[in-house]
Structure 1
Amino acid sequence: MDTQPQSFVPPHPTPRTHIPTRLEVIRTVMRNPLELWGEPSYTLPYITAKFLNETTLICNHPELIRHVLVDNNRNYRMARVRQLILRPILQDGLLTAEGDTWKRSRKAMAPVFTPRHIQGFADMMKARVATFLERYREGAGQIHDVGHDMTELTYEVLATTLFSDEIASDGHDFADDVDKLLSTMGKVSPLDLLKAPEWLPRFQRIRGRTVLRKFRKVVRDTMSARRERMDTDPDSVPNDFLKLLLDAEGPDGLTADEVEDNLITFIGAGHETTARALGWTLYLLANAPHERALVEDEIEAVLADDPPAVEWLDKMPKTRAAFEEAMRLYPPAPSINREAIEDETFTFKDGSKAEIRKGTTVLVMPWVLHRHRLYWENPNAFQPSRFWPEHRGEIDRFQYLPFGAGPRICIGATFALQEAVIALALLLKQFRFEPTPGLAPWPVQKLTVQAQNGLPMRVMKR
């Protein structure tokens, strides 16, 4: 009789069983915020706590999450601690801008990320991934840091699809630069937790200033080269994301600084979340042979008919499900931070109430929510079948938030899903990823969730 094999449970921090001291909180957040959360965070619908005389609401209940992020989102601005970390890097990019600045940027970018436009990128994505695979053919049988490789791959896809391969950089050591930027400039400082003014220096970020200046120079050079081409040979200019933003520049649109900030956001961070999720997907499948076989069989069957790449996302539900389950276990964006503007009382359907005071920091944390015992069966196990079409209806919309929710939902969500399925289909059709002995990658939060020492895996030809 056939039996379902035991599910793979990948590495994750054990929830705390005691209330940490202030010093423990600061040390843990500086080292790895994922290790901070205790048993109540994974078992209760919401928790109210105080730290340094400030109130924090850890919000897990889907009803309350919907209220904060959607129904009454106007009462919740970006949390100050989050802005203290991100704004030095992105300034007024889409992830950090607020108010009218955010609205202008979102409106300017929306045409690129319509479903029809994204579907038009499918063939470019397929071609770019196919070119990338040459390095695995040449190094077949060797150990590769797959996490690093996926950062390079998604950067190349981004450069091709949104910038027509006209980013003023050769991409050399790009993955290393991104890692350095996120692990320095993106690292939490004790001064951030204390909400100290931005002008006070965060000494651990000094190392990141050089790479940030490098990113900014790349963006300025890219803008300058494209502007010159738009002036001298406008008919040859591709109608891509870069042109769209430059066309939006003007008195009624974006400022030059806002264009630069949004390009920084997409070049420096826009591909990072997809890269991390792809790396984790390959690691999880490598350790779950049964799940890997289901995905491989699906890919073989679909590609045997050679359908257009634009159809792969819909034709490969098990491949997509493996990627979505990887984002559940290792959400690329592990926390969503808001701050209440005014007092309010939220009433649950059962009549119970949650009091939210002005100034309260509200944390909606996909890392905790996606492993919460009230909402998931066997929450720490890798089980892609949760996301198969016949089971998707069992998952509440506000129980699973890899791309956020509400007005600030990730504008590139569909782009990322299409890219991921195309990449996985080509990678897994030709290669098998095998974990190296003793590999138990520890997840750490450096803005995104990544493996502490990379994802070294042996890449074998199939």
Structure 2
Amino acid sequence: MSHADTPVKVPLVTEPMGILGSLGAARRNVLSIIPELATRQPMVSGRTGKRWHMVMDPGAIREMLLERVDTYPKSMVTKNLLKPAIGESLFIAEGAHWRWQRRTAAPVFSHRNVMNLAPIMTAAAQRSADRVAQAGPRAIDMAADMVRTTFDVIADVTFSGDGMFDADAVHRGIDAYISEAGKISLLDVLGAPDWVPRPGRLIFSRNAVGEMRRIADEAIEARRQRGPEGVPDLLDLLMDGEDPKTKRQMNTAELRDNLLTFIVAGHETTALTLGWSLYLCAFDQSVQDRARAELRAVCGEGPVTGEHVEKLPFMRQIIDEALRLYPPAGMVSRTAMANDTLCGREIRKGDTVILPIYALHRHHMLWDDPDAFRPDRFADRKAVERYAYLPFGDGPRICIGASFALQEAVIILGTLLNRFRFTPVAGRDPDPVMILTLRPEGGVWLEAEPVSTPQPASVA
């Protein structure tokens, strides 16, 4: 297949790299240290200062994520990296402290609550479409607009446009933090020895994080004074939530850490999924035409609402396939807490066990023509092997906001495709680079041609 037939991908390594080679490559793009072999074999092991294993076998992944969760907790690297920003929240906590928070937060993301927040998503999607229209015939970086759009959604659903909440300051704090944190994480993921110099360990980002946490604390206190108004937002739902077993409720610090987790985890990952989905729709116009036909049949020319989402299966397939080709968390690492065996291979306590989700999703034994963009792979969800496709992780720690993210992605992508035909800009292909998440480096530059007259928004 010529390059033009398949969307952009990360060039995987075919020769062993050695420790310094790996570090150099990882600083540029952590996925570039994945051996090409990892897309053809169930497991690949090696040593880079530390013993590591990459696991691509669905059965072994199921054992790690579902049956032996306590043997494979999130690696210390991940925790040390994120703790300054999000404390002991759901994303990081382990054991009993994780369990009670998960029980308390799970109802927040019930189908009914997520549906109640759909009008916020529709309104943000309409604003995005209006910005695209205003940009006129010029090419526009849709990746950047998607970050703005999903941040609009998360700021609104977390603090319902609370005047008390400075969304831009939080957004800047998150960006500053992620870009700094990403630089050091790779060295640790690879078990690099301590003599390898780390760039300034988060000195700069502490200020940004401090500011971000202060803003969130103030917003939470203001809400305690004021009480809920209108449709309950995520903050109201979390404040009301209690652990059904112990009746414990979250204090201000726990609320703040979990809200910041939802903001950090819930906006960039969805923005990336949307940016890559738009790139893929521009890459394959026939997919875009089919999507638009489905949208017209279900929504007419109007906006996409929460009620439409279930009736747009092909839109969902496009998003599923974008998540397969460009999973936001392209690689996940765990630390083995006990001796074990996976795929008949010895795992020793202390080994780093990596799930290279990017390689799993493009594995030749699991997917037909794995580098091709084919939304129809997901026409029958039951035909997809469960542990071969992990955009949201799995097991007890599966992403708590998955249904929220998918609903938001369908609404925003649908609204945009219903109003515009997107075409690629020659020579401006994005470069898939993973630092903390798999981003389209250089942006997703597309031209957008209006295909319909916008209807007045029926939602506020």
1:34 aligns with 2:23: no
1:166 aligns with 2:162: yes
> Counterpart in 2 of 1:82?
78
> Counterpart in 2 of 1:246?
239
> Counterpart in 2 of 1:442?
431
Superposition deviation, residue 244 in structure 1: 3.0
- Cα RMSD of the aligned pairs, angstroms, is 2.7
Superposition deviation, residue 194 in structure 1: 4.4
8 Å contact kept, 1:180–1:211: yes
- Counterpart-to-counterpart distance in 2, 1:248 and 1:311: 26
8 Å contact kept, 1:28–1:36: yes
1:334-353: per-residue Cα shift (whole Å, max 9, x none)? 1222222222234x6xxxx2
> Counterpart in 2 of 1:322?
318
The match for 1:261 among 257, 262, 267 is 257
- Counterpart-to-counterpart distance in 1, 2:175 and 2:426: 25
The match for 2:363 among 350, 372, 383 is 372
Give the residue type in structure 2 aligned to 1:330: Y
> Counterpart in 2 of 1:433?
422
The match for 2:339 among 327, 339, 343 is 343
Superposition deviation, residue 361 in structure 1: 1.7
1:152 aligns with 2:145: no
With structure 2 as the length reference, what TM-score do the two structures score? Answer: 0.89
1:19 aligns with 2:6: no
Superposition deviation, residue 92 in structure 1: 1.2
> Counterpart in 2 of 1:48?
45
Superposition deviation, residue 140 in structure 1: 2.4
Superposition deviation, residue 145 in structure 1: 1.6
Identity %: 35
- Counterpart-to-counterpart distance in 2, 1:214 and 1:436: 39
Partner SS state of residue 313, structure 1:
helix
8 Å contact kept, 2:10–2:433: no
1:186-240: per-residue Cα shift (whole Å, max 9, x none)? 333536644789xx9850633433432332232122112212213xxx6x47533
Partner SS state of residue 183, structure 2:
coil
Superposition deviation, residue 179 in structure 1: 3.6
- Counterpart-to-counterpart distance in 2, 1:184 and 1:15: 25
8 Å contact kept, 1:42–1:372: yes
The match for 1:332 among 328, 331, 345 is 328
Superposition deviation, residue 441 in structure 1: 0.9
Give the residue type in structure 2 aligned to 1:358: K
Partner SS state of residue 184, structure 2:
coil
- Counterpart-to-counterpart distance in 1, 2:433 and 2:411: 27
Superposition deviation, residue 285 in structure 1: 0.7
> Counterpart in 2 of 1:116?
112
Superposition deviation, residue 275 in structure 1: 0.7
1:211 aligns with 2:200: no
- Counterpart-to-counterpart distance in 2, 1:167 and 1:364: 42
Deviates more, 1:406-415 or 1:85-94: 85-94
1:264-304: per-residue Cα shift (whole Å, max 9, x none)? 11123321111100010001111111111111111111113
Superposition deviation, residue 185 in structure 1: 2.2
- Counterpart-to-counterpart distance in 1, 2:95 and 2:131: 45
The match for 1:224 among 216, 221, 225 is 221
8 Å contact kept, 2:239–2:249: no
Partner SS state of residue 208, structure 1:
helix
Give the residue type in structure 1 aligned to 2:387: F
1:402 aligns with 2:391: yes
- Counterpart-to-counterpart distance in 2, 1:173 and 1:212: 10
- Go from structure 1 to structure 2 and tell me whether the alpha carbon gap of 1:294 and 1:308 turns closer, same or farther (over 3 Å shift): closer
8 Å contact kept, 1:152–1:175: no
Partner SS state of residue 244, structure 1:
helix
8 Å contact kept, 1:84–1:192: no
Give the residue type in structure 1 aligned to 2:404: F
Within a 5 Å distance, the mapping from 1:259-338 to structure 2 comes to: 259-304=255-300, 309-338=305-334
The match for 1:422 among 411, 421, 426 is 411
1:362 aligns with 2:353: yes
The runs of 5 or more residues in structure 2 that have no matched partner are 452-460
- Counterpart-to-counterpart distance in 2, 1:267 and 1:195: 30
Provide the aligned length of Structure 1 versus Structure 2: 444
> Counterpart in 2 of 1:3?
none
- Go from structure 1 to structure 2 and tell me whether the alpha carbon gap of 1:274 and 1:84 turns closer, same or farther (over 3 Å shift): same
- Go from structure 1 to structure 2 and tell me whether the alpha carbon gap of 1:444 and 1:204 turns closer, same or farther (over 3 Å shift): farther
- Counterpart-to-counterpart distance in 2, 1:284 and 1:105: 37
The runs of 5 or more residues in structure 1 that have no matched partner are 1-5
- Go from structure 1 to structure 2 and tell me whether the alpha carbon gap of 1:454 and 1:209 turns closer, same or farther (over 3 Å shift): farther
The match for 1:95 among 91, 106, 115 is 91
- Counterpart-to-counterpart distance in 1, 2:140 and 2:232: 36
Deviates more, 1:446-455 or 1:399-408: 446-455
- Go from structure 1 to structure 2 and tell me whether the alpha carbon gap of 1:281 and 1:206 turns closer, same or farther (over 3 Å shift): same
Give the residue type in structure 2 aligned to 1:301: A
8 Å contact kept, 2:303–2:415: no
1:371-427: per-residue Cα shift (whole Å, max 9, x none)? 1111111111111111123xx333100000000000100001111111111111111
Give the residue type in structure 2 aligned to 1:89: A
Partner SS state of residue 11, structure 2:
coil
> Counterpart in 2 of 1:128?
124
